[in-house]
Structure 1
């Protein structure tokens, strides 16, 4: 589904597109570190989220996204996860990782492409010609329960969308209201 060898991003293909400060900053981070993290803070419409840009370009690993925590916490988690990717621990669907949040495991889940335009516009702009793979990094509650566990709290489910389900099939909530 995803071409492992071709990259059409802003760094690999010269394009006649207008670049803003965020574009330049993201490109600089990808050149210098291998990835950048885009943060979307929570607001009156819903929880915040953060996602990487550059893991696909640099390591041919899926990009990663987290939802529902403070953006600075998610940025730290995604940078820790990306350090693992740089060390050769690529993201795989269903993979449990214990190197992202201290004392807790997280699970990587493949994101259905129907969510891309609503949530990952900067990544789509950077890569120019999707599709590219994205993984949602799902975190548990304080008792180690994930949103899909029967005894998970409703708040945990509200804070994190289930992006492996197509957008049209997702339960209504703040995530499905995004254009």
Structure 2
């Protein structure tokens, strides 16, 4: 589907290579066909985990979404809630804040710099091929409702989520830049 401006290059719209798809891609196709999107969980290993969607662009012409630094199953639940909002016509936008997304608190949407895509969203890159659709980072606040860039947040909280709206060379070195 896509946004009407850029033809979709995903593995669903380009049927030719279906026999060459791996189990991850086949499962992703089933989820997108059934629900309109799939959520990929990247479980914590040497660093925090994260989750992201694949299929919102294909099914609804909406940016894909990603969350970082929380419990992967809680992030999956939040992304599925946002996926349902998108399916109902409430597409998220860069700079938007939306109430009741994460633990009953607001979330902020920030456009991800494409230089992060290969390191953080390999499943989406493989599914869509090129060009990869826009990705919005869903940023969650601390217990006081402050976002990581706001005054009054402590350093561990500011580092709990990457700032993917910054190009990698401008992002502070740490657990997130080690993935590049």
Question: Once superposed, which parts of structure 1, at least 4 consecutive aligned residues long, lie more than 6 Å away?
Answer: none
| Distance change in 2, residues 1:115/1:3 (3 Å) | farther
Q: Specify the SS of the correspondent of 2:123.
A: helix
State the 1:129 CA deviation.
Answer: 1.5
Structure 2 length as normaliser, TM-score? 0.94
Structure 1 unpaired stretches of 5+ = none
**Residue aligning to 2:21:** 19
Residues 61-140 of structure 1 mapped to structure 2, 5 A cutoff: 61-140=62-141
Structure 2 unpaired stretches of 5+ = none
Q: Tell whether 2:35 aligns with 1:33.
A: yes
Contact 2:41-2:72 within 8 A present in 1 as well: yes
Contact 1:80-1:99 within 8 A present in 2 as well: no
State the 1:101 CA deviation.
Answer: 2.1
Task: Name the CA distance, whole Å, in 2 between partners of 1:175 and 1:152.
Answer: 19
Task: Name the CA distance, whole Å, in 2 between partners of 1:121 and 1:88.
Answer: 27
State the 1:102 CA deviation.
Answer: 4.0
Aligned Cα RMSD in Å?
1.4
Query: Which is richer in helix?
Result: 2
Structure 1 length as normaliser, TM-score? 0.94
